[in-house]
Amino acid sequence: MISCVLFNSRFILAPSSTKIHDHEQLHVFFVPFMSPGHQIDMARIFASRGVKATILTTPLNISRFESTINRDDYHHHNPIKLLLLNFPSTAANLPPNCENLDAIPSRDLSYNFSKAIMMLQPQADDLVRQCQPDAIISDMNFPWTAEIARKYGIPRLVFRGTCCFSLSLSVAAAQHKPNVNVSSDTETFLVPGLPRPVYITQSQMPDQFFGNTDLQEFFEKFIKAERNSYGVVANTFFEIEPDYVKHYEKVTGKVVYPVGPVSLFNTKAIDIAERKRRRQRESNSVLYVCFGSLYEFAESQLLEIALGLESSNICFIWVIKSDAFLLLDKDFEERVKDRELIIKGWAPQVLILNHPAVGGFMTHCGWNSVLESVSSGVPMITWPLFAEQFYNGNFVLTHWKIGVGVGVESGLAWGEEEKIGVLVRRDRVEKVVSQFMINGGEEVEGMRKRASKLSELAKIAVSKGGSSYVNVGLLIDDLLNQKVERLSKKKETVDQFV
């Protein structure tokens, strides 16, 4: 007898004899990329649903999130296990303590970092052999997890930290690129084969921004590994892009589980901050400025941003790298001290975005940042830099209509920031910021209302009974059913032999 669950036009078939509610039967390995992100939250979400979750990572990365895991309410009765991978810095010709992408002292070492990641395969293989997990959920940057999963006969799912719109656009644009007939890299062209018309330029395609062409070999391995995987786990939610979730499933032939926004798993921390904070600024009066942990600006561009923010006369919070801060005008902080907060290094972005005084977010359009802004109901000033960030920014501006673009037409090639220099002048920064935060009128108010509605949808999606909550359950049940089938086949083989 077969039971059937329908959700988002997806059928999950489960033998009725399977104890799909008994999640403690399931053991999943999580392999997060060594970069700021949310894949550890995936392990936390699974553990909160009773699954045995194990994270494979390196010593310095364990120290980054161990305290977060230990604070979880469920941790005392269902602890997440952390397994150590020794990072081969010396073998990959990397300096010590470069176990995370944001710790690499130079972009020129990105190839070495990728080599080090590939060297982790034997260690991970041994751990899978010893622990015998039932599935692997891996970041795309570990293509060898597909080989390990195939070797031990278990499903491997790719964790995608971006939206299905950008994934679909990447596939379509790459296929269409040889046929593009434009007069310049900045001339727009229509990308065919998508649910809705989308226009981009060649200068906005992700492959423009990786100066080291040697990295191409790794990208090809990522793509091949995804083709050999069971499915995709995406940090997005169905309601904001139903057409593209379905489209990406169609073009890849893989089942896609939208389970985000995973940042909302930290609602307890947000609730605590909500009770403690004080309204020192008026609602929507502060602009939050952050370009992610991996960005690099030329010194000249950094100064243009600073002077543009100063001239706008708005209140702002600017998260800036400590070494980048040293490049600013020494008197800048003094001149704007009454209306700014400069944070050097890491900042609690989710908590900042949820503060009622924050009314806008100038962002590089990394998907984590975009989704956190959406979840907080904060509209954006988009300033994409590299990778798929132009695609994410396109979605913000043309699909959701909850932001304005700063006007950058092409991105940064890694390692060539000083050569490229200034892309946006101070007067443009001042104009966009002032218009957005002060003089936007009904247009910006409409953005705020649309962003607020998206925020409500995000919270519903991760709540009990919401689409992402249900998708996590469907994925767990699916993996459990596959485990039962493997055990059943193994038993049949033994019975036939004896």
- Please tell me the least confidently modeled range out of 204-218, 258-272, 366-380: 204-218
- Please tell me the least confidently modeled range out of 130-144, 329-343, 467-481: 329-343
Q: Using one digit for the tens of pLDDT, what is the confidence trace for 265-302?
A: 866 555 445 444 445 678 899 999 999 877 778 889 99
Average pLDDT, the chain: 86
Catalytic residue, chosen from 38, 247, 355, 364, is 38
Query: What integer pLDDT is reported at residue 393 of this predicted model?
Result: 96
93 and 242 co-located in one domain: yes
12 and 135 co-located in one domain: yes
| Residue 9 or residue 338, greater confidence | 338
| Residue 157 or residue 11, greater confidence | 157
Instruction: Give the pLDDT band (50/70/90) at residue 207.
Output: low
Q: Using one digit for the tens of pLDDT, what is the confidence trace for 123-156?
A: 999 999 999 999 999 998 899 999 999 999 999 9
313 and 213 co-located in one domain: no
State yes or no: is 38 an active-site residue: yes
Catalytic residue, chosen from 41, 134, 139, 477, is 139
274 and 251 co-located in one domain: no
335 and 401 co-located in one domain: yes
Instruction: Give the pLDDT band (50/70/90) at residue 19.
Output: very low
229 and 373 co-located in one domain: no
Task: Report the predicted TM-score, pTM, of the whole model to 2 decimal places.
Answer: 0.88
Q: Using one digit for the tens of pLDDT, what is the confidence trace for 181-200?
A: 888 888 999 999 999 999 99
Instruction: Give the pLDDT band (50/70/90) at residue 76.
Output: low
450 and 482 co-located in one domain: no
- Please tell me the least confidently modeled range out of 35-39, 147-151, 275-279, 341-345: 275-279
Q: Using one digit for the tens of pLDDT, what is the confidence trace for 446-462?
A: 999 999 999 999 999 99
Q: Quote the longest CA-to-CA distance of the chain.
A: 84
Query: What integer pLDDT is reported at residue 195 of this predicted model?
Result: 95
Residue 385 in contact with residue 295, Cβ under 8 Å? yes
Could you tell me the CA-to-CA distances from 479 to 122, 231, 311 in Å, in that order?
Answer: 25, 11, 55
**Domain extent at residue 147:** 2-259+465-497
| List of residues 6+ apart from 488 with CB closer than 8 A | none
| List of residues 6+ apart from 452 with CB closer than 8 A | 377
Query: What integer pLDDT is reported at residue 269 of this predicted model?
Result: 53
97 and 195 co-located in one domain: yes
Q: Which of 33, 35, 34, 55 is nearest to 43 (CA)?
A: 55
Query: What integer pLDDT is reported at residue 37 of this predicted model?
Result: 66
Place of tokens 């065919």: 192
What dihedral do alpha carbons 160, 163, 385, 331 form, nearest 10°? -100
Indicate the number of domains in the chain. 2
What dihedral do alpha carbons 152, 157, 160, 165 form, nearest 10°? 140
- Please tell me the least confidently modeled range out of 123-132, 315-324, 411-420: 411-420
Instruction: Give the pLDDT band (50/70/90) at residue 15.
Output: very low
CATH of the domain at 390: 3.40.50.2000
229 and 349 co-located in one domain: no
235 and 332 co-located in one domain: no
